[in-house]
């Protein structure tokens, strides 16, 4: 016998993904079919991979570029800027703001991607409810 504070296993615990439900005030279904969730997740991941590769490439260029500059541009990197050489200025002071800027770029880009996907999905749902044709990729024709 289950403990008294737990509902029996056959008691519904609220709407689940893929179940029938009412629509929200904005006319968007509160639950989404499993196929739609998988499609949205794939679109989100594909766009975020592109963003991740771009941010990662810039970071790797910065990370690998400093030793290469120290090897091949010794006089330039040994130039003093205030109490530091350019090498130490980049490594000790500028590296952190550059890393923060890359992090901000990634977070802002991810939020923009999520917002775009939500907007596209809302437009697709509205078009579907208005009887406009939708292709196999979920795009409104």
> How many separate helices (H) and strands (E) can be counted in the chain?
4, 2
Q: Look at residue 37 in the predicted model and tell me its pLDDT.
A: 80
Question: Residue 94 pLDDT > 80, yes or no?
Answer: yes
For the chain, percent of residues with pLDDT exceeding 70:
68
Closest CA to 99 of 58, 42, 69: 58
| Number of residues written out for the chain | 141
**What band does 15 get if pLDDT is binned at 50, 70 and 90?**
very low
Three-state DSSP at 8 gives coil
Sequential DSSP letters for 88-116: HIIIIIIHHHHHHHHHHHHHHHHHHHHHH
What is the helix (H) or strand (E) element at residue 19, kind and residue range? none
pTM: 0.65
Question: Residue 13 pLDDT > 70, yes or no?
Answer: no
């Amino acid at each position: 016998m289950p403990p008294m504070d737990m509902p029996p296993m056959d008691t519904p615990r609220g709407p689940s993904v893929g179940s029938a439900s009412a629509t929200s005030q904005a006319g968007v279904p509160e639950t989404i079919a499993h196929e739609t969730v998988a499609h949205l997740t794939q679109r989100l991941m594909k766009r975020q991979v592109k963003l991740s590769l771009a941010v990662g490439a810039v970071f790797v260029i910065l990370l690998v570029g400093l030793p290469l500059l120290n090897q091949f541009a010794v006089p330039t990197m040994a130039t003093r800027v205030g109490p530091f050489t350019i090498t130490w200025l980049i490594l000790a002071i500028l590296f952190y703001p550059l890393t923060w800027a890359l992090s901000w770029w990634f977070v802002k880009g991810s939020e923009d991607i999520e917002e775009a996907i939500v907007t596209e999905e809302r437009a697709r749902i509205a078009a579907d409810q208005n009887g406009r044709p939708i292709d196999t990729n979920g795009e409104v024709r």
